Chain A
Amino acid sequence: MNIIEVKNLVKSFGEFKAVKGINFNVKKGEVFGFLGPNGAGKTTTINMLTGLAAPTSGEITIAGYDGIKHIKKVQRIIGIVPDESNLYDDMSGFDNLVFCASLYGIKKGIREKRAKELLKQFSLDNAGKRTFKAYSKGMKRKLTIAAGIIHNPEILFLDEPTTGIDVESARQIRKMIKNLNDNGTTIFLTTHYIEEAERLCHRIGFIVEGKIIKLSNVHDLLIEARQENIVEFDTDSNGSNLEKLVISNFPGITVKSVTDHSIRISSRNRIEIMPFMKLFDNNGIKINEAKVIRPSLEEVFIKITGIEIDKLHKEKEGKKK
């Protein structure tokens, strides 16, 4: 059963089209991920689904409600965790949670109990009395997530939940997302971390420049990826040199990428490493390491989007600064 249905959704800012007519469904109980580089239109889409932005055209249905006309009904059953915190700096962690709960009409006794539970669950019980502005980045994100689920929403929207925070908090958050989903919450998340999408999501939509260019379940994507065999050689020679050698000696092999000292090759068939070792050796090139790369979603992503992962992350960090 589809809990979210999106048809021909468009969002223009003046002349500029940020979202260019996307179509997708989210199934009840799944973790659905939007994966794409900075500026792809992920946040804009979440804003339209949650009622913070008005679509230019298109249709949204959430839990049977018209997501544009009856957004206030939709908002009762959804939780939203934005990419940057929107809690109150001068209020304590506990007061923030209690206030958020009251917006959903939760009675005093219940909301205070729930706030305490959540603080504990996110290992923030010692920070409950401190003001929000004194929290670290990771703590802030965790409290923002707690605030997003205080009313036990059926659907939780998470915009880049682990971007820019410490490893331990990120790990806790991923575990939390998994637990929530195991207990029946449908999750819609955006990320630019491929590994995160691979680990958490059942299905993924690749979004680039406002368009979904591929939508598939992660299992199938991985099978697709694993049809490719990849080997990487790390040497004391430079990559373009290696590339020339490989191309002229192994016509059936594809060169995927090179750096100033390594080369990554791929083939539909199993790659025998020995012939390459021999070839490099004969040309006086020292091999530091040869390794078989287990294809991940990263390979699929690069193939589909033509975007290098390094670039994806650099762009993002560039933006944060």
Chain B
Amino acid sequence: MNKILAFWSILAKDMKNYYLKPPNISWGIIFPVSWTLMFFIRSNSDVDIRGILPGVMALSVLFGTTSMLAVTITFERRSRSFERLLLAPISLNLLMLAKTTGAIIIGIINAFIPVLFASLIIDLPGINWLLTFAGVVLIAVTSAFLGLFIAVSASEVFEAQTFSNFFRFPMMFLCGLFIPIESLPVFIRPLSYALPLTYGADMLKHSFNASGSISPLVSLLVLTGYSIALFTISTNNIKRKWIY
């Protein structure tokens, strides 16, 4: 009970102090909106819009989540307030879950902004919403933990943001979002299958266009595995580097 209260307070504080602050809110909205518009304007048929929607959603989540942790963790660490959290009587795992949950929630919301826009332009019948939601949640969790991993490795906010672009931009092209993986050179394909976003995007393709090529169950397992690994590595790094 005590722990739930602490968890909730940390989450609420981050929401209020960082995520819902005007600059972040506007970024959180402008980013997915501009992605959406950019792609929709270029696509000239209804089918096209539906076809690219999974990719746009995946990108929205990825960009909305990863850099958030640079703010909530790297920044707090520099101002030393992160120490206060480390000194609190809650386990490191719970603490880091509290710190990442905000980014996950924002990521999920970001995912549905393109859907909202699309629904204004076209009808969206026959979508497996349950699978969509599962896919979005998994992408958000994996991206947030990737952001956590980056934030723990960096010591400056700027460094964390640069570092996250190093991961994000290749994913735009390698994860089958807009360029099918089958049309990539053979030697690059293993790299595609090593990136978590490939699996998340594929789940969304299943639910929107029945065009996925990986079993959703496999994707679910791979993304869960990635999440656990990234989270574990990050908390171990914190123990090693920050509880020095």
Residues of A within 8 A of B (CB): 13, 50-54, 72-73, 75-76, 80, 82, 84-91, 99-100, 102-107, 147
What are the residues of chain B within 8 A of A102 when measuring CB–CB? 5-6, 8-9
27 contacts between A and B (CB under 8 A): A50-B87, A51-B86, A51-B243, A52-B87, A52-B243, A53-B243, A53-B244, A72-B90, A75-B88, A82-B83, A85-B80, A86-B80, A87-B81, A88-B13, A88-B17, A99-B9, A99-B13, A102-B5, A102-B8, A102-B9, A103-B6, A103-B9, A103-B10, A103-B88, A103-B89, A104-B89, A105-B1
- How many A-B pairs have beta carbons closer than 8 Å: the answer is 69
Question: Once the chains bind, are B5 and A51 in contact (CB under 8 Å)?
Answer: no
Tell me the complex Cα distance, A157–B1, Å.
Answer: 27
Question: Once the chains bind, are A52 and B83 in contact (CB under 8 Å)?
Answer: yes
Tell me the complex Cα distance, A83–B80, Å.
Answer: 11
User: Main secondary structure on chain B at its contact with chain A?
Assistant: helix
Q: Which of B1-51 contact A (CB under 8 A)?
A: 1-3, 5-6, 8-10, 13, 17
Cβ of B183 within 8 Å of any chain A Cβ, yes or no, is no
Tell me the complex Cα distance, A103–B5, Å.
Answer: 7
Q: Which of B82-105 contact A (CB under 8 A)?
A: 82-91
Question: Once the chains bind, are B244 and A54 in contact (CB under 8 Å)?
Answer: yes
Tell me the complex Cα distance, A40–B187, Å.
Answer: 57
Tell me the complex Cα distance, A242–B118, Å.
Answer: 93
Question: With A54-B244, A72-B91 given, can you name 16 additional A-B contacts, CB distance below 8 Å?
Answer: A50-B87, A54-B243, A72-B90, A75-B87, A82-B83, A86-B79, A86-B84, A88-B13, A88-B79, A90-B17, A103-B85, A103-B90, A104-B88, A104-B89, A105-B2, A147-B84
Q: Which residue of B lies closest to A72 (CB)?
A: B89
Closest chain-A Cβ to B77's Cβ sits at a distance in Å of 10
Tell me the complex Cα distance, A147–B88, Å.
Answer: 12
Closest chain-B Cβ to A12's Cβ sits at a distance in Å of 11
Q: Which 10 A-B pairs have the closest CB atoms?
A: A105-B2, A102-B9, A103-B88, A75-B89, A86-B80, A76-B89, A86-B84, A105-B5, A86-B83, A103-B6
